[in-house]
């Protein structure tokens, strides 16, 4: 709606100062011509807004002009009080600031919308952490934040999963991402995007050197590339197994990351065939906890490895009198 677009332009100009017409058009998903028409409408309504053309031009409010505008709808008011990933604000040291900001927003809301916003904050809760995630080393985000906001390079001492020794990296940070309750640093190393789990950073030092990001690349761009790399990483080993039907839902839920495709289930029979993908043979040992509820059908090397692993567990727990020792 035009009224909402006019309000968006006004709020952007109040917070940003001079903004190029093309940027406003891109943000609002309209043409530059429409932006200029909207500016004329604001001016006709008494808002002191003007446009300057040229290379360094843009649209700007008269210096010193401010207006207390919210214009929030009922749904927008509710949306502000549904706080996704509340733990993220605590981790960043912003929980008190968030509470203060929400109180100010509440005071600025149109009176008819305040009860709905208050009710939403009591009735809707979003917890972005996974069930039974297990204990994790606390991530110290302060130095990482300092580098991100100061646009400085970082020197990290970092321990990769499965390694005892730390490695040292000099990186160019784009920002921090919270994914299912886990914090990641997105950064370039030697002009290539890298992902570092914050809780594996053993120490971090902000360097005096300015950050050297790739031109035109933002945090969201780098994160999208890295996210796809993780999610689309293909295994080199195709495994076919069968799962007892009464355990199928749980199995699919817990092994979604290794499913090559959804099983073709006709709803009959005791067993359902599934196809999985792993990086190496030993990785398929993740199937051992299912005991007799899951049987690998192929390839033979995976069956042999699982049989050997199961035999070693049997020997470990077999009473000494039974094995003749």
**Which run of H or of E encompasses 92?**
none
Q: Are 60 and 19 in contact (CB under 8 A)?
A: yes
Q: Are 43 and 6 in contact (CB under 8 A)?
A: no
Dump strand ranges (E) for 13-81: 49-52, 58-61
**Which run of H or of E encompasses 3?**
helix 2-16
Residue 244 banded pLDDT, cuts 50, 70, 90? very high
Q: What is the pTM of this model?
A: 0.61
Give the whole-angstrom CA distance, residue 154 versus residue 146. Answer: 10
Residue 204 banded pLDDT, cuts 50, 70, 90? very high
Contacts of 19 (CB under 8 A, 6+ apart): 12, 13, 58, 59, 60
Give the whole-angstrom CA distance, residue 214 versus residue 106. Answer: 40
C-beta atoms surrounding 2 within 10 Å: 11
Give the whole-angstrom CA distance, residue 137 versus residue 288. Answer: 27
User: For position 192, what pLDDT does the model report?
Assistant: 94
- Provide the Cα torsion 97, 100, 104, 106; round to 10°: 110
Residue range 258-279, pLDDT digits in tens: 888 888 888 788 999 999 988 8
Give the whole-angstrom CA distance, residue 49 versus residue 59. Answer: 7
Give the whole-angstrom CA distance, residue 207 versus residue 213. Answer: 15
Q: Are 175 and 219 in contact (CB under 8 A)?
A: yes
- Which structural domains are found in the chain, ordered by start? 2-61 (1.10.10.10), 74-123 (no CATH), 142-231 (2.30.30), 237-317 (3.30.70)
Residue range 99-115, pLDDT digits in tens: 777 776 776 666 777 78
Each as own residue / partner, the long-range contacts of residues 1-4 (CB below 8 Å, 24 or more positions apart, any chain) are 2/38, 2/41, 3/71, 4/71
> Given the structure tokens 């000099």, which residue do they identify?
170
Nearest to 177 by CA among 126, 218, 130: 218
Residue range 287-318, pLDDT digits in tens: 999 999 999 999 999 999 999 999 999 999 88
User: For position 84, what pLDDT does the model report?
Assistant: 47
Give the whole-angstrom CA distance, residue 165 versus residue 175. Answer: 25
Collapsed DSSP state (helix, strand, coil) of residue 295: strand
Residue range 75-101, pLDDT digits in tens: 766 776 665 455 667 777 777 777 777
Q: How do beta strands 271-278 and 201-210 pair?
A: unpaired
Residue range 213-226, pLDDT digits in tens: 999 999 999 999 99
């Amino acid at each position: 709606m035009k009224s909402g677009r006019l309000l968006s332009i006004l709020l952007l100009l109040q917070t940003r100062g001079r903004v190029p017409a093309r940027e406003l058009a891109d943000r609002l998903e309209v043409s530059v011509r429409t932006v200029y028409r909207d500016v004329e409408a604001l001016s006709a309504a008494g808002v002191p807004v003007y446009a300057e053309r040229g290379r360094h031009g843009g649209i700007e409010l008269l210096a010193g002009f401010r207006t207390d505008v919210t214009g929030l709808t009922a749904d927008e008011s509710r949306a502000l009080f549904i706080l996704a990933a509340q733990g993220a604000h605590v981790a960043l040291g912003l929980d008190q600031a968030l509470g203060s900001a929400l109180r100010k927003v509440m005071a600025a809301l149109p009176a008819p919308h305040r009860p709905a916003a208050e009710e939403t904050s009591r009735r809707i809760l979003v917890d972005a952490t996974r069930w039974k995630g297990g204990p994790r080393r606390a991530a110290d985000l302060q130095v990482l934040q300092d580098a991100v906001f100061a646009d400085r390079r970082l020197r990290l001492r970092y321990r990769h999963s499965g390694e005892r020794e730390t490695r040292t990296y000099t990186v160019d940070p784009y920002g921090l991402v919270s994914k299912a309750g886990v914090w990641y640093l997105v950064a370039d190393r030697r002009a290539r995007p890298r992902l570092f789990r914050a809780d594996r950073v053993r120490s971090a030092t902000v360097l005096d050197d300015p950050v050297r990001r790739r031109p035109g690349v933002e945090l969201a761009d780098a994160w999208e590339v890295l996210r796809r790399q993780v999610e689309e990483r293909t295994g080199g080993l195709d495994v076919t197994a069968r799962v007892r039907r009464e355990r199928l839902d749980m199995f699919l839920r817990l092994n979604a990351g290794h499913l090559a495709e959804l099983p073709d289930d006709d709803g009959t029979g005791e067993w359902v065939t599934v196809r999985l993908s792993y990086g190496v043979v030993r990785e398929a040992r993740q199937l051992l906890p299912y005991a007799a509820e899951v049987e690998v059908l192929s390839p033979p090397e995976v069956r042999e490895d699982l049989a050997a692993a199961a035999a070693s567990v049997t020997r470990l727990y077999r009473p000494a009198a039974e094995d003749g020792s």
